[in-house]
Amino acid sequence: MGRIHRLDPVVANQIAAGEVVERPASIVKELLENSFDANAGQCRVVLDEGGLARISVKDDGIGMGPEDLMLATERHTTSKLTRLDDLGHSPWLGFRGEALAAIASVSHLTLASRESGAAVGYALTVEFGRIGDLAPRAMSEGTQVEVTRLFDTVPARQKALKSPAAELAACQQVVQQLALCRPDVGITLWHHDRRLLETGGTGDRLAAIMAIFGRDLAEQVIAIDHTFSRGLRIQGYVAPAHVHRANRAGQGLYLNRRWITNWTLRSAIEEAFKPELPDRRYPYFWLWLTLDPDTVDPNAHPTKAEVRLLGERQVAALCHRAVQDALAEAAKPFALNAPAVSEEEARDLAPGPVLQPTWELSGPPAGLGSASRHPEYAGLVPLAQWQAKYILAQGPDGLYIIDQHAAHERIYFEHFRRVGEAVRTSQPLLMAQTETLSAAEWATYQDHREHLRTLGFDLVELGGTTVAIQAVPTAFRDVTHYAGVLRTVLQALEEPTHAGMSHPISWVEEPLFAMAACKAAIKANRPLSHQEMQALIDDLAETEDPRGCPHGRPTILHLTLEEVDRRFGRRG
């Protein structure tokens, strides 16, 4: 008898499932895309324990009859392809007949559906690949899939899953992306009894962005609509370069009504923001691309998230150009010899009464020693102030140009990181400010009320997702728009890389320290005396890292004597 034999179909399905089902978010993606293919107008996603305990996706699509239900959970059964030629032109998101079979092989799956026009629906249960009996069920038209006991029979896969909070963050990111990909479908996401997201399904892309990321961001975005050759059309929205975040959760690429990942396109788009974007910060953009289907291969990846494009570099270059043109058109020109600022601008630029510049204090901030940490900067001698924002200084190694605001930001940032009282103490407001949070922000707020209270926020719930901001960290008592401060902290708390952690105050405060430093630091258009410039240089030399501000901008440019001689054609 030969040693080679056919695998049991259940075992084969569990092996194949590893390519399609990696975590709860993979299941949510596959089920929602099936709903889209079924012409659903509304989808409801319900998760328990971040999807580890239960995943339920219900839609109002065309549904399935009993015969189709019996076939739906078997591998390579599909309603979308009949011949090989269909593969390259398929408008469907799912077409290989693998997703439901893969999910059913590693979980307890209940599939219920009522076909459009049918009097009754039917339900089918599949337990780890073994199909049960079909039974009638009273239900509305459409389909509902419920998944429980995920990876119970694959302990190694189950142990590889992350915490409920981390898995929830991944599921939420998938739902957000698919809601933006298909704004014509109304999507709600629930976790236990909390609604995390809801889109209207009106087809309005900007409305979907507003529902997910909030009104403040949606009101700042710049529209893009370009048509190029080869049937390429690029539509979408980008935020100005000065609006950015610490991760790529505010980005989306959608090709022919499909959410995709393509690093060539993404890199080209991000490059368009680079001249103004700080290091380790990422821009907001959402681009919907329409391209000739003959130039797209959606079958290049098991999850169909990555696609191959014919002429990929040319498409990337056109994406870069479209974004660059939009940013340039929206940008306001700035002249170096601009006239004096208005009274209103001057009030915004003036240092607040609570946080005075260090060079006006009797000594350095607490924690800065008398011995300089960076003697190469301590020996600098200020020569002049240029354009009321740069300090020209001379040192043994050449000429130095110092950005007074960025340098002072660095000084204050390290001061706050050491002592932090101005962030952790609370300042009541004379008048509370109300703000309506997005569904994601509201969920983060609900999970981290105590952290926010520790940081100095006093928030009162007013109904829905609206809160009244009654107190803020003392460092921000003079800020006019407190919601921006609150959103910065919520963004740090919802950071996927930190989901499930205890959120120690030290790293949650980092964005607050940076904001407080920016608020307290001297601004451009502020004349400085020679004594003030020298004090600023001395304080900068005592910081741990004087090279850049907390937002990633450089503080100092260095020009050596050799470089200057070379520019003038001197030989030394």
Of 296-300, 490-494, 535-539, 561-565, where does the model show the most confidence? 535-539
| pLDDT class of 495 with cuts at 50, 70, 90 | low
Provide the 3-class DSSP secondary structure of residue 108.
Answer: strand
| Tens-digit pLDDT profile for residues 74-108 | 865 555 544 445 445 555 565 445 789 889 999 99
Let me know if residue 467 belongs to a domain: yes
Same domain, 502 and 433: yes
> Is 430 found in the same domain as 413?
no
Exposure of 32 in the CB half-sphere (CA atoms within 13 A)? 31
| Same domain (yes/no): 356, 405 | yes
> Are residues 279 and 393 located together in one domain of the fold?
no
Is there a single domain that holds both residue 443 and residue 455? yes
Residue carrying the six token digits 């004594």: 531
Residues 380 and 484 in one domain: no
Q: For residue 274, what pLDDT band results from cuts at 50, 70 and 90?
A: confident
Pick from 87-101, 285-299, 318-332: least confident: 87-101
Beta bridge partners of 198: 188
- Asked whether residue 337 is domain-assigned, the answer is no
Asked which of 20-34, 172-186, 491-505 is least confident by mean pLDDT, the reply is 491-505
| Phi, psi dihedrals of residue 197, rounded to the nearest 5° | -160, 145
Q: What are the start-end ranges of the H helices in 82-202?
A: 85-89, 99-105, 155-160, 164-181
Q: 155 pLDDT exceeds 80? A: yes
Alpha-carbon distance 340 to 221, whole Å? Answer: 29
Pair (154, 30) in one structural domain: yes
Span 371-420, pLDDT tens digits: 567 777 878 999 999 999 999 999 988 999 999 999 999 988 887 777 66
Length, in residues, of the chain? 572
Residue 531 backbone dihedrals phi, psi, to 5 degrees: -65, -40
Residue 207: CB partners within 8 Å, gap ≥ 6?
183, 199, 200
User: Whole-model pTM above 0.85?
Assistant: no
Q: What is the DSSP letter of 264?
A: H
How many angstroms separate the CA atoms of 189 and 173, rounded? 11
497 pLDDT higher than 80: no
Q: Is residue 214 part of a domain?
A: no
Question: What are the backbone angles phi and psi of residue 186, rounded to the nearest 5°?
Answer: -75, 130
State the number of CA atoms in the 13 A half-sphere of 102 facing the CB: 21
Q: List all residues 6 or more positions away from 480 whose beta carbon is below 8 Å from its beta carbon.
A: none
Segment 336-344 shows an average pLDDT of 37
In the structure encoding, which two tokens stand for residue 365, read together? 């901030």
Structural tokens at position 366: 């607490």
Co-location of 374 and 447 in the same domain = no
Q: Do residues 554 and 445 both lie within one domain?
A: no
User: Is-contact 240 291, C-beta < 8 A?
Assistant: no
Environment class of residue 120 by beta-carbon count within 10 Å: exposed (0-12), middle (13-18) or buried (19+)? Answer: exposed
Tokens of 476: 């921000």
pLDDT for 521: 83
Q: Are residues 53 and 132 in the same domain?
A: yes
Q: Residue 172: which domain range?
A: 9-201
Backbone φ and ψ of 387, nearest 5°: 60, 20
Token pair recorded at residue 538: 């001395």
**% of the chain beyond a pLDDT of 90:** 46
- Together in a domain, 34 and 13: yes
Does residue 299 fall inside a structural domain? yes
pLDDT band, very low/low/confident/very high, at 160 (cuts 50, 70, 90): very high
Name the band, by pLDDT with cuts 50, 70 and 90, for residue 109: very high
Q: How many CB atoms lie within 10 A of CB 263?
A: 9
97: Cα separation from own chain's centroid: 31
**From 280-289, 322-331, 476-485, 517-526, the region with the lowest mean pLDDT:** 476-485
